[in-house]
A and B are shown apart, each in its own frame.
Chain A
Amino acid sequence: MLINIRKNLVKLIFNLCLVYSFIHFIFPSFALERDESWKDVLKKASGQTIYFHAWGGAKNINSYIKWAAGEVKKKYNITVKHVKVSDTANVVAKILSEKNVKKNNNGSVDLVWINGENFSLMKSNNLLLNEKWIFNLPNSKFLDFSNDPSLLNDFGIPTDGMEMPWGVSQLNFYYDTKYINSPPRSALELKNYIIKNKGRFTFPQPPDFVGTSFLKQILIELISDKKLLKLKYVTQQHERELNTLWQWLDEVTPHLWRSGKNYPSNYLAITELVAEREIDLGMAFNIAHASNSISEGKLSNSVRSYIHDKGTLANVHFVAIPYNSSNKAASKVFANFLISPEAQIKKQNKDFWGDPSVISINKLSQKWKNKFSTLSRGLATLTNEDLRMKLEEPHPSWVKVIEDKWIKKYGSSN
């Protein structure tokens, strides 16, 4: 009988939690108590140091993180150390290995910049702090969760409040208008372009995330039934669906830069190649990348961005707290700062990063509304209208398959 009571009690608590989080979900600004507990969080966080693992290849992003770290130091006395990561999969591997050796506290990662298959892997291995913490952050009131499903779905996987949206990305291409009149605007046109202009196109070597995204983009454009990509990849059913992609690559690869025997390591290396005119077309996930590079003096100011006619891959990127983070309170405070209007407007500013804000303008005060609306987009950045054609990410299970197959077919065959 005792067991029964206990069982019921557990059930009751569970249900209460469910209702509680439901209320939070529906009314993000509800709950007086939140401010109270947030004070505790701030108190706990003060004087702490956290290690933020985030891709560290781009100077402007690194400087932005440095700035944000400086701000939370001033405001909340939290020290944020940016651990510059070259591939977020390595961070997942590290946390996984910590879990394996039962290092369940004091993990080496406090906060991680993440999305897509890495998130999916962390979620399925229970590597993330799972207490719907994102809804408890005061600044989450600026995010329009109820109207924008992409804020709570990462590559189609529900985030369950385990990761906080940080920014929005869309795959885009750029070219120098001085040398090229009209760039190719579909997978098919691109193929013809590459064959005609031998050695003047390449993409970052998968598993680099831009490189892999490019392959996904081509696949989406070529596949006959796009709905299949929403499903979990099953070898028996879906293997042949990839054939269109491999055919495209078979035709294109010999004509790539360095005959496809070597690839640049990431999208920044691509920028250098476009700047030196080794190749014609560049690609990035940050819609302001070309503008950024122009203002840094890296690309000529005749460079412009474009996307494919059918649209390009778009996704949201997030920050998440690992389950064994050594300092969850400070990580929350930093995440909260990252989605403040102050931090988001700076992020959207093309002179700093140019990554579009995730907060909803409608939820801001008039003062911030004005500030956001007067922000200039930059010379080579496409307008929202130009960018309206967005393609959804395939189910994360496709990523690994595409990467592995690509490596097998083209990445290890020379």
Chain B
Amino acid sequence: MGTNFYGQLTKALVILIGTLVIVPIIFGFIGFFLPSFGYFPILGKSEFNLNYFHLSLNIAGISKSIILSLFTGLVSTLLALFFSQVILLYLFKTRAYNYIKVLISPLIALPHITMAIGLIFLFSPSGLFFRLISPWLTGFDRPPNIFIMPDEYGLFLILGLILKEIPFFILVSLSALQEFSAKKIFDLGKSLQNSNFSSWCILIFPLIYKKIRFVIFIVIAFTASVVDMSLILAPSTPSTLAIRILQTYQSSDADSLFIASNLALIQLFIIIILLLFWMILEKIVSYKLSFIFLMKILSFKTFFINKIVVFTSVILFLLSILGIISSLIWGFSANWYFPNFFPKSLTLDVFINFYNENKFIIFISIFISFIVSLISSLLTIIWVELIEFLQIKKIYLEWIIFIPLFTPQISFLIGLQSFIILFDFDSYLLPLIIIQLFYVIPYSFIILAPSLREIKKEIIIVATSLGKNRLQRLLSVKIPIVMSSLLTSFAIGMLVSFSLYTPVYFFGAGRITTLTVEALNLALSGSRQDLGVATLFQIIIPILILITVAYLSKKICKWRF
């Protein structure tokens, strides 16, 4: 009877967890889908109609916003992918290859807005760049009256996005490279008289691409609907569609919820269109003739192109570093007026004041990300265990947890908001943690689940024969084996949660503010010194998380299989 009872219990648990995860995701969709057709019974509207499409497409400048979103999403993904491959190609087979991971990890760990803020500090007319060449070269004794950023085509938004996505693509490509004998294939290509570049493109890239295709789709969905970076780097007359949705949703017009939901649906269409377009692009590129044609173009004057590409990559890397450094200097500056390249004096006051005033925010930011990441790792372990207990080979529905990553954040959140309004939550922390879980679980799952499932059967059999029960096996055998993945998943979970902006903005409702939200507010209106300090914390905390986890995994994971 015992096993039967446990079997039933496990099944019930699997169904329960599955439901708890799937239902909000479904409602996240329904919550903006139905109102966009004018259906929202709580507000007394229960008739379907297409009026809101008409209304939302007639908002002033909305087509420009849509084009801007399409453009920035597509171009930034393409460029980031291109540069990630070029950088890998040049570092492949050099000694630096072994250090790439160390070098880019901090860049990946930083929140998106940190990079955006760095760009402001560099490129605004009173930024570091003009200070560097003024007044000796330009004659400017005051910031020039030129219009650099945010530019009307969203080029700076693209720049900001690729600075974040290049390291990300490099990281996922690196792990893809480990899965096949890339070096051998590369040498094979070289022995057939191909250049480095063409060996990479013909032989290695397709293999990498197959493995990271999924990630590319996520990046497309993200970049075409990004909110936080748009607020800082996108033009404001008009801004990207994501920002327009946010503005509409918050306006006090009677129909704002319906129009915003409708725009959220349009935002989803945009992602779908981009993904379809990308797939067509894949088809075209993989078509033999066009591929050869492309290779011909790329190998034409390779030397010249090489130089430009390498130069650009170096510049991009320098930009991210310089942006960060200038944010840090601002945090400690006193009296730093144009055109001084360096502040007249440095001070700790701003830092101390900021810390004293924002202690709680810093604490709550770390607390939330810790809790969210912990729950998310635990859920993953429990889920994998339960599924294994039931001896189910493959769960087809597992891909559902990735849906929030493919959906525009703003759309999904509007949907969830309409759903959550049904429960009369008194707490703001609880819904926020639940919502963040939807953005963190996919990462925990993708890192942790495979390593749990790859544990060799023999080890488990040995453990069982030693009289260990399921729980003991999990705690004393499985978890130690996957400890390094567990720690990685925990760290990534914390980093993802820490950098989330839109969910906190929406569900924290001003009552719960995290450092990321605060930094963005400062970027829009605060003093540059405070912004510098906020950025400093945004850099320190993720890096501390990384270091702690690296240290722990060295200490704990002494033995490996």
Contacts and interface: CB of A to CB of B under 8 A. Distances in A.
A42 B145 CA distance: 57
A276 interface: yes
Nearest to B530: A59
Contact of B125 (A86, A87, A265, A278): A278
A51 interface: yes
B521 A84 contact: yes
A83 B509 contact: yes
A25 B515 CA distance: 47
Interface in B326-378: 334-335, 337-338, 357
B152 A261 contact: yes
Interface stretch (B163-171, B235-243, B311-319, B483-491): B235-243
Interface string A381-414: 0000000000000000000000000011011111
B526 interface: yes
Contacts of A199: 145-147
B442 interface: no
Interface residues of B, number: 44
A94 B507 CA distance: 12
B468 interface: no
Nearest to B513: A84
A63 B358 CA distance: 12
B238 A412 contact: yes
Given A101-B421, A261-B237, A277 B142 contact: yes
A372 interface: no
Interface in B505-535: 509-511, 513, 521, 524-528, 530
Minimum-distance CB pairs A-B, first 5: A412-B61, A199-B145, A83-B510, A276-B126, A277-B142
Contact of A269 (B143, B237, B250, B524): B524
A37 interface: no
B525 A266 contact: yes
A268 B257 contact: no
Nearest to A81: B511
Contacts of B235: 261-262, 414
A133 interface: no
Given A51-B511, A100-B43, A262-B147, 6 more contacts: A101-B43, A205-B236, A278-B126, A408-B60, A412-B237, A413-B237
Contact of A414 (B126, B152, B256): B152
5 contacts: A100-B42, A100-B43, A263-B237, A278-B126, A412-B64
Contacts of A259: 147
Contacts of A103: 424
B521 A272 contact: no
A93 B61 contact: no
B252 interface: yes
Interface of A: 51, 53, 56-57, 59, 63, 81, 83-87, 89-90, 92-94, 96-97, 100-101, 103, 106, 108, 118, 121, 198-200, 205, 257-263, 265-266, 268-269, 272, 275-278, 297-298, 407-408, 410-414
Q: Interface residues of B: mostly helix, strand, loop or mixed?
A: loop
A57 B126 contact: no
B424 A412 contact: no
A88 to B, nearest CB: 9
Interface in B227-241: 235-238
B194 interface: no
B322 to A, nearest CB: 19
Given A93-B256, A297-B335, A414 B145 contact: no
Contacts of B510: 53, 56, 83-85
B150 interface: yes
Contacts of A121: 252
B338 A276 contact: yes
Interface of B: 42-43, 60-62, 64-65, 125-126, 142-143, 145-147, 150, 152, 235-238, 250-252, 256-257, 334-335, 337-338, 357, 421, 424, 426, 509-511, 513, 521, 524-528, 530
Contact of A277 (B61, B237, B338, B511): B338
B528 A272 contact: yes
A260 B152 CA distance: 11
Nearest to B44: A100
Nearest to A198: B145
A57 B64 CA distance: 29
B42 A414 contact: no
A277 B338 CA distance: 8
Contacts of B236: 205, 262-263, 265, 411
Contact of B521 (A63, A86, A101, A414): A86
Contacts of A92: 252
A89 B237 contact: no
A53 B510 CA distance: 9
B60 A108 contact: no
A89 B250 contact: yes
A108 B509 contact: yes
Contacts of A96: 252
B42 A101 contact: yes
A257 B142 CA distance: 14
Given A259-B147, A276-B143, A414-B64, A90 B238 contact: no
Contacts of B334: 297
A257 B294 CA distance: 43
